[in-house]
């Protein structure tokens, strides 16, 4: 196209990318399936994603799909549940590929034995839960002939029903018996019980922790008197009095994922727990609820949006009040006490660290020598509030800061953080260093005191010690007493035993699940002969 008034002596030779090719390159051809940021909502308005009509989502060409074994092509096999695929592979009788079949059968049997028989081989890795990902990694080593290795598992029971935990324990013992060393970081009493040697750390969290308070066997731990020992010796019981519903939330005829035309009513203003074995359809039921009922607050363990500078102080909003207090006390500008503004160290730009990009290796971060890692100009530290500089305050724990400040704008949010068990964290602790459980409790702290809302918690006990779970239960009770509706997806018996209403999904996982097998209170669940949850709840009460 010739531009108007263009000089003919200088013809245009550059090329322009059109709007549609630019959009296709930027969004449709991106490797990442997740579009985030300011363009996410507009992207969803104009783009509809569906399975490819040529391959029906298999990603394979027609020539490959015509190759079949007993009427099934490779895509059909990958879309079968692992337990169904195992049964199919066993029907193949061909001596020429017998070693291959045996290796495949062994791997599939390991997946079934670890409780992942409900998955399909075509399942995207990004859609797996943390517990599922960890168990798949475990399966890779079960068939290994290597010995004298050291394995470290970080809470392998995460996301597992007690029924699945027993199968996990069996595999961990097998791994040890092959001649390996197995180290497990764990809170689940059922996993702790199988250990040959136990190291208990404490006594508290943060600065109050870091000490070995017990070493020995399980029976010795129960007699040790440590917080873990006290928890293991505690007498378990059911809830004494159940709340009554003020109304109901409805899920109608849901067929999402493995749900089989499920309809259920969830009582309002009570504490409800949705439980069931891994893969039984708990998360699918809650997703159906959030799709059909709007204005539901979902508090999960996903990352909190923010920058490298985000901390407890910025997330709770108390940092503005802290800066204002420093500025008023010293009669200077408030921006001086921001490491993202005038007060930022010019060397590290307020980050406190200098990052060196090593191209093909991970970046290396070293503490900034000019500000000694504080992120502030050295001259800012001369300004004090009650004898403390801004860096002294940011290094305080939540509990210490609550006692230090008098301003209610600061002390009230800090009090809520103490209530959810985050009193050991420092005000300047970066949010990207928080565990999933800590992120979830931080979100919960922001919701305390609200009334009339519907809250969904996805496995809030993940990463929590038994004594922390007791504190968490008190918060759920308080939230419910404030006329909120609290719905918890959970396997932990401490939570299940104290629920006003229980919905048990099952009876199995994948295609064997997707049905509501029980609705009611915990007393009636124990009497249910079909429910695996009822069986383990009964064992929990008589432990």
Block means of pLDDT (10 residues each) for the chain, length 543 residues? 56 71 76 62 78 88 93 94 94 91 90 86 80 77 79 86 87 89 94 96 85 96 94 92 94 92 96 92 92 87 78 92 94 91 90 78 83 89 94 94 94 92 90 85 85 90 86 91 94 95 92 93 92 94 87
Residue 1: predicted pLDDT: 46
* Contact status, residue 80 vs residue 61, Cβ threshold 8 Å: no
* Contact status, residue 445 vs residue 413, Cβ threshold 8 Å: yes
Neighbours of 457 (CB within 10 A): 25
Considering only CA atoms, which of 417, 513, 421 is closest in space to residue 472? 421
- CA–CA gap between residue 134 and residue 155 (Å, rounded): 9
Residue 435: predicted pLDDT: 81
* Contact status, residue 304 vs residue 318, Cβ threshold 8 Å: no
- CA–CA gap between residue 36 and residue 305 (Å, rounded): 11
- CA–CA gap between residue 485 and residue 332 (Å, rounded): 46
Q: At what angle do helices 162-177 and 98-113 cross, to 10 degrees?
A: 130
- CA–CA gap between residue 495 and residue 511 (Å, rounded): 27
User: What are all long-range contacts of 252-260, with beta carbons under 8 Å and residues at least 24 apart?
Assistant: 252/292, 254/284, 254/285, 254/288, 254/292, 256/284, 256/287, 256/288, 256/291, 257/281, 257/284, 257/514, 258/118, 258/284, 258/510, 258/511, 258/513, 258/514, 259/284, 259/285, 259/288, 259/514, 260/514, 260/515
- CA–CA gap between residue 542 and residue 538 (Å, rounded): 7
Residue 438: predicted pLDDT: 86
Question: In 3-state terms, what secondary structure has residue 405?
Answer: coil
Residue 454: predicted pLDDT: 94
DSSP state of 146: -
The length of the chain, given as a count of residues: 543
Model confidence, pTM = 0.81
Strands 181-185 and 515-520: unpaired
Neighbours of 274 (CB within 10 A): 26
């Amino acid at each position: 196209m010739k531009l108007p008034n263009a000089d003919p002596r200088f013809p245009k030779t550059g090329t322009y990318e059109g709007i549609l090719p630019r959009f296709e390159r930027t969004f449709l051809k991106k490797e990442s399936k997740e579009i985030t940021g300011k363009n996410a909502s507009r992207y969803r308005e104009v783009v509809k994603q569906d399975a490819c009509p040529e391959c029906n989502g298999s990603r394979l060409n027609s020539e490959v799909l015509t190759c079949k074994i007993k009427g099934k092509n490779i895509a059909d096999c990958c879309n079968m549940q692992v337990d169904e695929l195992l049964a199919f592979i066993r029907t193949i009788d061909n001596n020429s590929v017998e070693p291959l079949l045996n290796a495949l059968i062994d791997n599939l049997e390991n997946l079934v034995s670890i409780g992942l028989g409900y998955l399909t081989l075509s399942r995207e890795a990004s859609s797996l839960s943390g517990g599922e990902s960890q168990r798949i990694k475990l399966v890779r080593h079960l068939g290994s002939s290597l010995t004298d290795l050291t394995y470290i598992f970080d809470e392998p029971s995460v996301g597992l029903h007690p029924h699945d935990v027993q199968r996990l324990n069996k595999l961990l013992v097998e791994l040890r018996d092959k001649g390996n060393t197995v180290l497990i970081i764990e809170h689940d009493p059922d996993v702790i019980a199988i250990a040959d040697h136990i190291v208990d750390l404490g006594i508290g969290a943060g600065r109050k922790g870091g000490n070995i308070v017990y070493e020995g066997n399980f029976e010795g731990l129960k007699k040790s008197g440590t917080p873990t020992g006290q928890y293991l010796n505690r007498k378990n019981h059911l809830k004494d009095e159940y709340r009554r519903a003020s109304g109901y939330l409805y899920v109608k005829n849901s067929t999402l994922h493995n749900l089989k035309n499920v309809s259920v009513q969830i009582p309002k203003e009570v504490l409800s727990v949705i439980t069931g074995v891994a893969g039984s359809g708990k998360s699918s039921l809650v997703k159906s609820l959030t799709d059909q009922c709007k204005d539901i607050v979902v508090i999960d363990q996903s990352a909190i949006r923010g920058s490298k500078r985000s901390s407890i102080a910025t997330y709770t909003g108390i940092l503005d009040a802290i800066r204002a207090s420093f500025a008023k006390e010293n009669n200077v500008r408030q921006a001086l006490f921001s490491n993202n503004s005038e007060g930022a160290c010019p060397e590290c730009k307020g980050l406190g660290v200098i990052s060196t990009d090593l191209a093909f290796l991970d970046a290396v971060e070293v503490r900034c020598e000019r500000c000694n890692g504080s992120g502030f100009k050295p001259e800012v530290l001369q300004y004090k509030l009650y004898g403390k500089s801004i860096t002294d305050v940011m290094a305080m724990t939540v509990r210490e800061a609550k006692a230090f400040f008098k301003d209610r704008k600061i002390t009230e949010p800090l009090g809520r953080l103490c209530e959810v068990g985050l009193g050991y964290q420092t005000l300047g602790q970066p949010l990207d260093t928080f565990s999933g459980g800590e992120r979830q409790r931080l979100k919960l702290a922001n919701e305390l005191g609200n009334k009339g809302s519907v809250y969904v918690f996805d496995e809030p006990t993940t990463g929590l010690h038994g004594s922390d779970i007791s504190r968490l239960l008190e918060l759920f009770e308080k939230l419910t007493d404030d006329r909120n509706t609290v719905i918890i997806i959970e396997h932990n018996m401490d939570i299940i035993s104290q629920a006003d209403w229980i919905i048990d999904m099952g009876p199995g996982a994948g295609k064997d699940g997707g049905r509501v097998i029980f609705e009611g209170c915990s007393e009636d669940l124990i009497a249910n002969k079909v429910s695996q949850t009822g069986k383990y709840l009964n064992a929990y009460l008589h432990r």
